[in-house]
Amino acid sequence: MNAWVGYAALIGLFTVTAGIGFYGLRISRTTEDFYVASRTVRPWWNASAIGGEYLSAASFLGVAGLILISGSDALWFPIGYTAGYLMLLLFVAAPLRRSGAYTIPDFTEARLESVAARRVTSVLVVMVGWFYIVPQLHGAALTMSIATGLPSWVGSVAVAVVVCVTVVTGGMRSITFVQAFQFWLKFTAIALPIVFILIIMGNSGLSVPALAEPFAVDPAGLPAAGAYRDISLVVALLFGTLGLPHVLVRFYTNPDGPSARRTTLIVIGLLSVFYLFPTVYGVLGRAFTPDIATGGTPDALVLLLPGRLVPGLAGDVLTALVIAGAFAAFLSTTSGLVVSIAGVISQDVLGGRVRGFRVAAVFSTVVPLGVALLTESMQLAGSVGLVFAFTASTICPLLLLGIWWRGLTDAGAIAGMLAGAALCGGAIAAGRALGPLAGPFRELLAQPAAWTVPAAFTVMVGVSLLTRGRRPAGITRIMTRLHAPERPLSAPNR
Amino acid sequence: MTHEDPAGSGQHPPTPPRRIRVTAPIVRARRAPGQPVAREIAEQSEVGQVYVRSLIRSQLRLAVVVAVGFLLILLAFPLLIAYVPGLEQAEFLGVPFSWLALGVGVYPIILLSAWLHVRAAARNEARYLDLVNDA
């Protein structure tokens, strides 16, 4: 690949992102601007921003790569990513907005009236955020080395630096504009090459190789995943989405409960259209470039396919576009995560001031950067799937039971979250350490959500029932606040 | 919260709000303007509490029904492909049915479920507001 194509794409993207960030700085003035963009963001803007933040390295690169190597089993990934928002809409969106809290730990404290439960939630939120940033930085490393030929660490560091600068200067207000812009950039970047390739195929400038079997089970010789793996993955994605800190913090930027629901509906529409494209990349990759699967970097399929199939200058321009789109994915997801982690750290440790937020933002970027530089990349979609499993086993039960069940106590919540974290984290670590030695338990350890999520719920409910005396005194008031609708304004002053 | 928020009023669009210094950690956010009346009625009276409980129950029932319905449909896809003879080999424009079902067909169902839920949830809330306003 031409290195200048990569440089042009990166310089263009970084310039525009920084420009929007600085524009946001000029209108970002109050503390509420910093944390939640003053709750004045309209549903379409907000939905684009949520989409921009959510579509990470795993969605932009990982899904297509996984379809390339494992076929129709990988189609469950985009289904889970999208249906996760359905669960969020059904169980969390409006009540969480009405809770009036800024972060998940704030919600925990308000609902359970317990500082200890708040601390446990904070630690988990920070862990989830860091686990999620690491694969983004790995994706950046991969893309940078393919795009420019520079050493791969340059990609991770570049993303970390740009995120730090944007977040520190603009806070959430500017992030909202940046994210919304990056959603539409990602969408264009993934859709336009497919349109070109299909046009070329339609003009029969490109014929499918006679031997290609794009829909066969396993061109790379991998065994098909079993039913357990598919079910467990879907459980993780469905219930993990509603606990992701960077997704939840976005819901506080809606003005009220109904607009939180409308925003979620739009997000589901945007995601449904977006995820058609990685699937098409996967299928085209299986037809035309199966060598990418065997070459060891299937995650690079989206980056390489346009250049392989579209000749000449058009191919170079499209390649530059997908590189920019991929970096937009790393940047937007990482900055969303950094904003939410920094919000938690600054409120819990540094006193909630803007300066504390800035210090926390730098800290929240540097730690995962260190981890990313010291570890080897694995399949992007797979490692993100494990983060979803961890979230589904810890924060999801807290939110679901906290919102819908009066009986949840602080002791129950803490016990359930710790049990879920220990089981899920332990299973993933054990699966890694044992490898093939785990024998019959290998599948259970490789994607543990199907049994750790019910286990966390069981512990949370059980301990809450044993500690009935600890139910918060104001539970009636709290439940009313979560569920009673805002009175519609009769005066036209909105 | 211990500060006034000049940005919230939005009365003077030409002059940007002045920068403010924040002096306390924020745990509770500002409520959306003009809403709390219905809540206060509900919080203070026993009748109001009955209304709130029935609202929560109906919203939970709605959410569970939609979720279970969606999951059953989702489960039906692989079962159909596995057990209906001929479906495994069925093709449309050269694309196998299983790929079309999972790669394209699931998404309209997700959207439809979401849309139905948004409508029904808003209806539950409107009914609750009617009750509270009559009380």
Question: Looking at residue A72, which CATH number applies to its domain?
Answer: 1.10.4160.10
From B27, B70, B110, residue closest to A106, measured CB to CB: B27
Helix (H) or strand (E) holding B91: strand B91-92
Contacts of A345 in chain B (CB under 8 A): none
Q: What's the gap in Å between the CA of B51 and the closest CA on chain A? A: 9
Selected for mutation to probe chain A from B3, B9, B28, B75 (highest A CB count within 10 Å) is B28
Contacts of A484 in chain B (CB under 8 A): 38-39, 42, 52, 55, 128
Task: Classify B28 as helix, strand or coil.
Answer: strand
SS3 labels along A136-163:
HHHHHHHHHHHHHCCCCHHHHHHHHHHH
pLDDT at A208: 61
- How many domains would you assign to chain A? 1
pLDDT per position in chain A (494 positions), as tens? Answer: 577 777 888 888 878 777 776 666 555 555 555 444 445 567 788 888 888 888 888 888 888 888 888 877 888 889 999 999 999 999 988 888 888 777 888 889 989 988 999 999 999 999 999 988 988 898 888 888 888 888 888 888 988 988 888 777 765 556 677 778 888 888 998 999 888 888 887 776 556 664 556 666 554 444 455 778 888 888 999 999 888 887 777 777 777 788 888 888 999 999 999 999 999 888 888 888 777 777 778 888 888 888 888 778 888 888 888 888 888 888 888 888 888 888 888 888 776 677 778 888 888 898 989 888 887 766 777 778 888 999 999 999 999 999 999 899 999 999 999 999 999 989 888 887 777 776 677 778 878 888 999 999 999 999 999 988 888 888 888 888 888 887 654 433 33
Contacts of B125 in chain A (CB under 8 A): 257-258, 485
Task: Report the amino acid identity of residue A330.
Answer: F
On whether residue A422 sits in a domain, the answer given is no
Retrieve residue A366's tokens.
């540097």
On whether residue A270 sits in a domain, the answer given is yes
Establish if B125 touches chain A: CB-CB under 8 angstroms: yes
Establish if B33 touches chain A: CB-CB under 8 angstroms: yes
- How much is the pTM? 0.84
On whether residue A395 sits in a domain, the answer given is no
DSSP secondary structure of A220-252: T-PPPP-HHHHHHHHHHHHHHHTT-HHHHHHHT
On whether residue A255 sits in a domain, the answer given is yes
Domain that holds residue A69: 3-374
Task: Report the amino acid identity of residue A197.
Answer: I
Nearest to B115 by CA among A89, A168, A337, A445: A89
Selected for mutation to probe chain B from A486, A489, A494 (highest B CB count within 10 Å) is A486
Chain-chain contact of B25 with A109 (C-beta, under 8 angstroms): no
On whether residue A257 sits in a domain, the answer given is yes
On whether residue A103 sits in a domain, the answer given is yes
| Nearest-Cα residue of chain A relative to residue B8 | A38
CA distances to A214, A281, A290, A483, B132 from A218, in Å: 9, 16, 11, 48, 60
On whether residue A414 sits in a domain, the answer given is no
From A31, A351, A477, residue closest to B43, measured CB to CB: A477
- Give me the interface pTM, i.e. the ipTM: 0.85
pLDDT tens, residue by residue, A20-35: 766 665 555 555 554 4
